[in-house]
Amino acid sequence: MSSWAIPGRTARFSGEPQDVTGARLATEEFLHELARAVPPTAPECWHDIVLIVTELAANAVQYAPGPFELHLRPTFDGVHVTLHDSSRVPPAPRPFHPDSGGGGIGWYLVQTLCSQVSVVPDAGGQGEGKDVHVFLPW
């Protein structure tokens, strides 16, 4: 069986803090199904995808109040993750301040672990929100 036999998965969330966990669990379910068809090329692939989805969902909850939508789909050599949120403001790196509890490394992780990253403002409807597209190896 190939990764093409695995359908994409979409999950919608209201934007509450617990939805970060929901996005993580939806990702784990998708990866379990994908791994049955095509095992990851390295163990860290699984963990990297879960980490990136967690970061994107946490950023959506913190910086784009309102609902968000997660879409996962297999590609020929990896996983395409799209997260749509309610803010048109693109993500940006923030300074890391470990003495005040951390924070500020999520967007650096996304840029480092993903093979491609793009942010597309929503042009449909009323033009609210954006899509963050990332590709990760599998």
Coil/strand/helix, residue 63: helix
What is the pLDDT of the chain when averaged over all its residues? 91
Please give the average per-residue pLDDT across 26-54, as a whole number. Answer: 96
pLDDT score for 127: 64
pLDDT band at 4 (very low <50, low <70, confident <90, very high): low
Residues 6+ apart with CB under 8 A from 57: 13, 19, 20, 23, 24, 68, 70, 83
Please give the average per-residue pLDDT across 20-29, as a whole number. Answer: 98
What whole-number distance in Å separates Cα of residue 105 and Cα of residue 93? 7
Beta bridge partners of 135: 80, 116
**Do residues 6 and 37 make contact, with C-beta atoms less than 8 angstroms apart?**
yes
- Sequence letter at residue 46: W
Pairing of strands 116-121, 78-85: unpaired
- Sequence letter at residue 35: A
Please give the average per-residue pLDDT across 105-110, as a whole number. Answer: 90
The two structure tokens encoding residue 123: 């042009």
pLDDT score for 101: 66
pLDDT band at 109 (very low <50, low <70, confident <90, very high): very high
Q: Which domains does the chain have, with CATH numbers?
A: 3-137 (3.30.565.10)
Lowest mean pLDDT among 22-31, 81-90, 94-103, 125-134: 94-103
